[in-house]
Amino acid sequence: MNIAVCLKQTPDTETRVQIAGDGVSVLEDDVQWIINPYDEAAVEAALRLTEAHGGEVTVFSLGPPRVEKALREALAMGAHRAVRLHADAVPADPRVTARALTAALRDGGFDLILAGQQAVDDDQAQTPQRIAQALDFACVTNVEELTVEGGRGAARRVLEGVQEVSSFPLPAVLGVNLRLNEPRYPSFKGIMQAKRKPIDVIEAELAEPKLVVERLAYPPEKAAGRVFEGVEAVPEVVRLLHEEAKVI
């Protein structure tokens, strides 16, 4: 079973985001780059499936040379091959990203295409659905349990108040969430082997974006918390919780 995993390199979730001078992008100087945690779960799921059923895992990422670090990390986890779709910058329009990925994936003969259901940086959550649409494959999102048996897959998703299990024929595209697994920590052996694995670089087929970021701004600063003391403050606290915070 050959599996493709689409992964995005995102800033570490602890990064203090700083808006660049152009007002529409983020300063990359002090950013600690990581594999988008949702995509990391997708890599882990792919590795577990190939460990059980055989086959290879190929990881794809779209972006400038810096994203090779993320690909290298996936190789260290155990992925077999890596492909970087070269673009000078990571597109802001998910449609552009999905189209470029689809072009690279279309003739790969993959039984399964996995991706995180969203990226922690832009939270667009569109890539798996768009790829599935373009390839006319079944698509399940928000997957938190996955089994594959005899050419069919089954995915469990947790919805509001109910769990849903659906099955689908392969090939399929899945968007996974963080509850799917605990991604492995690469062994030193894996890190060393990853250094010897090649990363293929191909030019990304980039469409004209339809979505344009107009402006980035910091969210309004949170007001400092207020401290009340003594029992006599209770009515006032209740009133504020009801009228201002509107939580009771």
Partner 1 sequence: MLSIAEKVLFAIAVMGSASLAYRGFSNVVKVIRRGTGEPLKVDLDRFFRALGQWIIMKPIWKTRTLADVFHVMIAWGFVFYFLVNLGDVLQGYFPVQFLGAGAVGVAYRFLADVFSVSVLVGMVWFLLRRFALGSRRQLVIRENVKVMEAARAGGITRDSVIVGVFILAHVGFRFLGETFTLAQERLHTGHGDPGQPFAHAVSGLWEGLDESALVVGQHVSWWLALGLILAFVPYFPYSKHFHLIMSGVNFLVKPDRPSLGALDPVDFEDEALEQIGVARIEDLPRKHLIDAYACIMCNRCQDACPAYVTGKELSPAALEVNKRYYLNLNLAALAAGEASAETMLDFALSESALWACTTCGACVDICPVGNEPMFDLLHLRRHQVLMESAFPQELQPAFRGMERNGNPWNRSAADRMAWAEGRSVPTIDENPDAELLWWVGCAPSYDPRAQRTAQALAKVMNAAGVRFAVLGGRESCTGDSARRAGNEYLFYERAQANIETLNEVAPKRIVTTCPHCLHTLGKEYAAMGGAYEVIHHTQLLAELAAAGKLDLPGGEASGAVTFHDPCYLGRHNGVVDEPREVLDALRLPVVEMPRHGTKSFCCGAGGAQMWKEEEPGAAAVNATRFDEAAATGAQTLAVGCPFCLTMMDDASKAAGEGMAVKDVVEIVAERLGDRA
Which residues of this protein are in contact with partner 1, per CB under 8 A? Answer: 12, 14-16, 30, 32, 34, 182, 184-191
Cβ–Cβ under 8 Å, residues 84 and 201: yes
Q: In the bound complex, what is the minimum distance in angstroms from residue 43's beta carbon to partner 1? A: 14
Angle at 187 between CA 12 and CA 69, to 5 degrees: 40
CA nearest to 90, candidates 53, 59, 114, 119: 119
Neighbouring CB atoms inside 10 A of 213's CB total 13
Longest CA–CA span in the chain (Å) reads: 71
In a 13 Å sphere around the CA of 102, the CA atoms on its Cβ side amount to 22
Nearer to partner 1, 96 or 120 (CB): 120
Cβ–Cβ under 8 Å, residues 66 and 88: no
Cβ–Cβ under 8 Å, residues 15 and 36: no
Point out which residues pair with 199 in neighbouring strands. 82
Sequence-distant (6+) residues with CB within 8 A of 137 are 113, 131, 171, 172, 173
- Provide the token pair at 73: 């990390």
Name the residue with tokens 């152009």: 22
